[in-house]
A and B are shown apart, each in its own frame.
Chain A
Amino acid sequence: DTGVSQDPRHKITKRGQNVTFRCDPISEHNRLYWYRQTLGQGPEFLTYFQNEAQLEKSRLLSDRFSAERPKGSFSTLEIQRTEQGDSAMYLCASSPPSVWGYTFGSGTRLTVV
């Protein structure tokens, strides 16, 4: 297992289109997190899964955003009707049950034009 994988690395989309990102966590990690990071800012929490259960969602996650982790393994984050303000780096992280610390994926950089 080589760490947390995210796909795609880069995505350019037109405003109004839908996009979906995928995250494959470290296999023995049951916790999975999505964060968003804009230039010059720290990562902002979006949502968190423990196994397949989505336990918490940030106020930042408007109704255009949805995340799933159907079998407690990989996760997807979908953004519907993208807006220019959605342009950011979307980071996925996973951790084991002890939450000693996260391991981050390389991120998906979204540009909405």
Chain B
Amino acid sequence: GQNIDQPTEMTATEGAIVQINCTYQTSGFNGLFWYQQHAGEAPTFLSYNVLDGLEEKGRFSSFLSRSKGYSYLLLKELQMKDSASYLCAVNGGNNRLAFGKGNQVVVIP
């Protein structure tokens, strides 16, 4: 089975840095994905980690520790348009992704 856990909501100020955590328990592992989803829209791909360590892509970075079943997404220099839900998803080795409930980030001026 698969269990993916994320905190539900956080508020941060424009220009700040926010870290969104994800813990997972899966019987297999073939990569962890982060998606951004604005209200009423489809999820869009942000990052992918399959090996331990940090992947940096512009203002967004994602970290993975396979031994701890843990990942985080780091959002820097927050902008108002970053207000969205951030979904953690794991490929458990069965050719499909299992998603967490998502973490709602609200950016305030």
Q: Which residues of A contact B (CB under 8 A)?
A: 31, 33, 35, 40-45, 48, 50, 55-56, 91, 99-107, 109
Is B96 close to A, CB under 8 A?
yes
- Indicate the member of B41, B96, B98 with the most A CB atoms within 10 Å: B96
B residues contacting A by CB (< 8 A) are 4, 30, 33, 40-45, 48, 87, 89, 91, 94-102
Please state if B96 and A43 are interface contacts (CB–CB under 8 Å): no
B45 CB contact (under 8 Å) in A56, A91, A103, A107: A103
CB of A33 within 8 A of CB of B33, answer: no
* Supplied contacts A56-B94, A102-B33, A103-B45, 20 more A-B pairs, CB within 8 Å: A33-B96, A33-B97, A40-B101, A41-B102, A42-B4, A42-B87, A42-B101, A42-B102, A43-B99, A56-B95, A56-B96, A91-B43, A100-B48, A101-B45, A101-B48, A102-B45, A102-B97, A105-B42, A106-B41, A107-B41
